[in-house]
Amino acid sequence: MSAVISTDICIIGAGPVGLFAVFEAGLLKLRCHVVDALPQPGGQLSEIYPKKPIYDIPSYPEILAGDLIDNLMKQIEPFHPTFTLGERVERFARLDDGSFQLYTTDGTEIQCKAVAIAGGLGSFEPRKPAVESLERFEGGKGVHYMVRDPEHFRDKKIVIAGGGDSALDWTNFLANVASEVTLVHRGTTFRGAADSAEKVKTLHEAGKIKLVLSSNVTHLHGDDTLQQVTITGNNGEAETVPLDAFVPLFGLTPKLGPIGDWNLDLTDDAIVVNTEDYSTSLPGVYAIGDINTYPGKLKLILCGFHEAALMCQGAFKYIYPDKKYTLKYTTVNGAPTM
Ligand code: FAD
């Protein structure tokens, strides 16, 4: 069980909108803790289209999605936000004094004065392959749907399954970390980037990884923890290999997940907000970015940035009802600090 984290605003979702909210909150001297189910910040931009150029961010005629996230991370540095990544917020409770307690899948507890839900399309859930007894070995027993920390696999024998960017990238990366990496792919050609596929082939030819094509992992074996997997070829031939970890990387799909159970007003899986401050039906809880809905809503990063600014003003008033805030331009106040 992790220690309790205490902050002013807990932001659920480290997509572009959640990250920019840290900046706007920082200008108001509000501290933020950001939680995301994914192991890296950036939401859809990092997970779905990091190498795609975006053309409608003001003052950037063109910027790669991944670079936009890098810039946002740099922009919020002066405010020292803290992060819990790779954990999903499961539930929260509003206390009698109007503050909140949030709990993640891994038992992290966050105490905060306001909550900003910037959950986008929901949390990304792994696409699981249809392998019997997969679930028996989840939760630290040998099956990992994401690589949260590559060091976890140091000197371990691992089998990765998949043919997209994630499977290729992690195979290439973990070849230098794990003691043995086997990549199993059901086809003969990869969906991921051609240069990553090329690297995998080069590593295979150099004997640094094993590559098993036209095959699937079909069975998992072990008592308390995973010990072996059976790899079956499309021709029916099977072999059972010992391993420490099985990493199926078949992509992630967004699901509204637990947010749907938090008793907030919803329409079509989006949280209904008041556009004055992006407050939800529960006082002290705000929703910004793709996750909210209101008349005229546009699911655009630009709109999410605007919502983040107004949300922080609302959260400030909620946290400090007696304090007066006067808007000051950043050009007047100088470089932002906390
Ligand atoms: P997201 O980016 O979806 O991030 C939300 C985060 O919340 C996710 O990382 C998720 O894991 C996390 N989360 C959700 N629930 C939980 C939970 N319970 N616990 C922990 N974490 C949780 N927009 C533009 O403006 N211009 C474009 O050119 C453009 N191009 C696009 C191209 C593609 C291919 C796609 C898919 C989208 C594009 N968009 C574009 C839309 C843009 O990506 C979204 O508007 C933007 O990502 C919304 O940001 P967000 O921060 O609200 O949510």
pTM of the entire predicted model? 0.83
Summarize the confidence of residues 183-188 as an average pLDDT. 97
Q: Which atom of ligand 1 is nearest to the CA of 47?
A: 9
CB 215 near ligand 1, within 6 Å: no
* Nearest CA, atom 45, ligand 1: 300
pLDDT of 90 above 80: yes
Q: What domains sit in the chain, N to C, each tagged with a CATH number?
A: 5-124+253-333 (3.50.50.60), 128-250 (3.50.50.60)
Residue 50, pLDDT score: 86
Summarize the confidence of residues 21-34 as an average pLDDT. 97
Q: Report the distance separating Cα 310 and Cα 247, nearest Å.
A: 41
Distance separating the N- and C-terminal Cα atoms of the chain: 29
Residue 124, pLDDT score: 81
Residue 140, pLDDT score: 87
8 Å CB contact between 185 and 167: yes
| Ligand 1 center from residue 44 Cα (angstroms) | 4
* Nearest CA, atom 53, ligand 1: 120
* Nearest CA, atom 47, ligand 1: 44
CB 117 near ligand 1, within 6 Å: no
Q: Is the dihedral of CA 310, 316, 322, 324 positive or negative?
A: negative
- pLDDT tens sequence across 260-271: 899 999 999 999
* Nearest CA, atom 32, ligand 1: 49
Read off the pLDDT band of 4 (50, 70, 90).
Answer: very high
Residue 6, pLDDT score: 98
pLDDT of 123 above 90: no
Six-digit token string for 121: 């399309």
Summarize the confidence of residues 20-26 as an average pLDDT. 97
Tell which one of 22, 33, 34, 44 to mutate to probe ligand 1, the residue whose CB is within 8 A of the most ligand atoms: 44
Residue 253, pLDDT score: 84
| Ligand 1 center from residue 282 Cα (angstroms) | 23
pLDDT of 332 above 90: no
CB 88 near ligand 1, within 6 Å: yes
Summarize the confidence of residues 116-141 as an average pLDDT. 91
Read off the pLDDT band of 47 (50, 70, 90).
Answer: confident
* Nearest CA, atom 10, ligand 1: 123
Residue 161, pLDDT score: 98
pLDDT of 333 above 90: no
Summarize the confidence of residues 42-66 as an average pLDDT. 93
- pLDDT tens sequence across 224-243: 999 999 999 999 999 999 99
DSSP E strands: which ranges in 76-197? Answer: 82-85, 89-94, 100-104, 109-117, 123-126, 157-161, 180-184
Q: Report the distance separating Cα 185 and Cα 295, nearest Å.
A: 46
Q: Report the distance separating Cα 307 and Cα 17, nearest Å.
A: 8
Read off the pLDDT band of 2 (50, 70, 90).
Answer: low
| Ligand 1 center from residue 221 Cα (angstroms) | 37
Mean pLDDT of the chain: 94
